[in-house]
Structure 1
Amino acid sequence: MKKIVLSTAVVFALSLASCNNTTQPQEGQAEASAEQLTTETGVSGTFNIEPTSVVEWKGSKPTGSHNGTIALKSGSFTLENGKVSGEFVLDMNSITVTDLTEDKGKLDLEAHLKGTGEADKADHFFNVGQYPTGTFKLTAFDGTNVTGDLTLKGKTKTISFPATLTVTDSSVTLESKPFEINRVDYGVNYNSGSVFGDLKDRLINDEVELVVKVSAKK
């Protein structure tokens, strides 16, 4: 089995700034640039995501934080002519809070994030009734950073984040370092200090931390 790992050794301090291109080949693995990815290994084709693929999230405010997951509904990587691309669908109805139990408000927070509780709160966060899915279109990988277009609530922004991409004859995995997006870019404005004034202890930070973990097989 041929295997190649492309990754970054840069310590990522929760920013989307560009990093220097570094690779860390493991023992028995070949080193290659993004352009050499398929030509060096001879791997090509479409790799469909596994059900375990997930995006981990963490939202914070001055008084604390919450974290959870969003499942990927569908998607695939395509390797062709030395390039890697991909399109992925996020199931926004799968938003889960993992740091709370039901007796501590887990279900209430999940409903608030989804907008499935009280009608006047439907658009506070992700409004899954109107926007049941999000998408990410992977457009480039330079050996260090993934770049692509993230769409949430009908709004699209190009983002970049450091990640490790591992390719074998039969699988592709992508795991990111922690990185941040600004929720206001996607119309998620509830209790944002950059949108509303004098929120005091009701303030929720605009930045949401994400970690992407995607596995795919032929």
Structure 2
Amino acid sequence: MKNRILKGGLVAIIVLATVAFTNTKKEVNVEESTVEWRGEKVTGSHNGTIELESGYLMMEDDKITGGEFIMDMRTITVTDLTGENKGKLEGHLKSEDFFGVAKHPQAKLVITSAASKGNGKYGIVGDLTIKTETHPITFDLVMNGDVATTSLTIDRSKYDVRYGSGSFFDNLGDKTIYDNFELDVKLRF
């Protein structure tokens, strides 16, 4: 009788521990999520969108522990121009001068760690791959129910995106395009 009670208690503890520390994969809804970019040059700026191909957050006890997101670089659009100028800039961004989407159709972010800062805010550490280059990146992400938002600053020169960069070319003058570009991300799960 005593052995049955001990075995039953042990089984109950194992079940509770398993339920209490469950990892879940929270899939992103790509149709309802947005990635907006903004790049600046000496004489102004441009902005647009990039579509997510897939993504998920790993959760443990409703806390972010990891994740992975893939952007479809072939979907880069420009939203501040119309007509011929819009088409020219989109084509240029997709060319080898910038993201070379024919050879590199995806960019990937892998979250390697996440630390809660309270009130749904996390400090995220990850690896970002654009073209064939992978570099660490840190940023804050706010999780509110089934929505996560963040803003990232990315130095394109680290990812072999050289066109118009003062880091690689001298005497560009007002043709200089700044190395940093911004991503504003809203993820729905």
Q: Same fold (TM over 0.5)?
A: yes
Secondary structure, counterpart of 1:163 in structure 2:
strand
Q: Equivalents in 2 of 1:85, 1:44: separation in Å?
A: 10
1:83 deviation in Å?
4.8
Match of 2:42 among 52, 62, 69: 62
Q: Deviations over 1:101-129 (max 9, x none)?
A: 125x11110111011xxxxxxx1000000
Sequence identity, in percent?
40
Secondary structure, counterpart of 2:139 in structure 1:
strand
User: In 2 relative to 1, CA 175–43 (structure 1 residues): closer, same or farther, beyond 3 Å?
Assistant: farther
Q: Deviations over 1:61-83 (max 9, x none)?
A: 11000001111001111213655
Q: How does 1:132-171 map to 2 (within 5 A)?
A: 132-143=105-116, 144-167=122-145
Partner of 1:7: none
Are 1:89 and 2:70 counterparts?
A: yes
Q: Equivalents in 1 of 2:139, 2:181: separation in Å?
A: 13
Q: Equivalents in 1 of 2:123, 2:169: separation in Å?
A: 33
Q: Deviations over 1:4-48 (max 9, x none)?
A: xxxxxxxxxxxxxxxxxxxxxxxxxxxxxxxxxx96xx8752221
Which structure exhibits the higher relative contact order, with contacts defined as CA atoms closer than 8 Å and separated by 6 or more residues? 1
Secondary structure, counterpart of 2:157 in structure 1:
helix
Unaligned segments of structure 1, at least 5 residues: 1-37, 116-122
One-letter amino acid matched to 2:81 = L
Alignment TM-score, normalising by the size of structure 2: 0.80
Partner of 2:56: 76
Structure with more strand by fraction: 2
Are 1:49 and 2:28 counterparts?
A: yes
Q: Equivalents in 1 of 2:141, 2:64: separation in Å?
A: 16
Q: Equivalents in 2 of 1:113, 1:66: separation in Å?
A: 11
Match of 1:108 among 88, 94, 98: 88
Q: Equivalents in 2 of 1:83, 1:61: separation in Å?
A: 36
Secondary structure, counterpart of 1:214 in structure 2:
strand
Q: Equivalents in 1 of 2:46, 2:164: separation in Å?
A: 15
Structure with more helix by fraction: 2
Q: Equivalents in 1 of 2:81, 2:164: separation in Å?
A: 21
Q: Deviations over 1:169-204 (max 9, x none)?
A: xxx42201x331110000000010010000111110
Match of 1:99 among 66, 80, 97: 80
Q: Equivalents in 1 of 2:34, 2:113: separation in Å?
A: 20
Contact 2:39 2:45 in 1 (8 A): yes
User: In 2 relative to 1, CA 202–83 (structure 1 residues): closer, same or farther, beyond 3 Å?
Assistant: closer
Q: Equivalents in 1 of 2:51, 2:136: separation in Å?
A: 21
Unaligned segments of structure 2, at least 5 residues: 1-18, 117-121
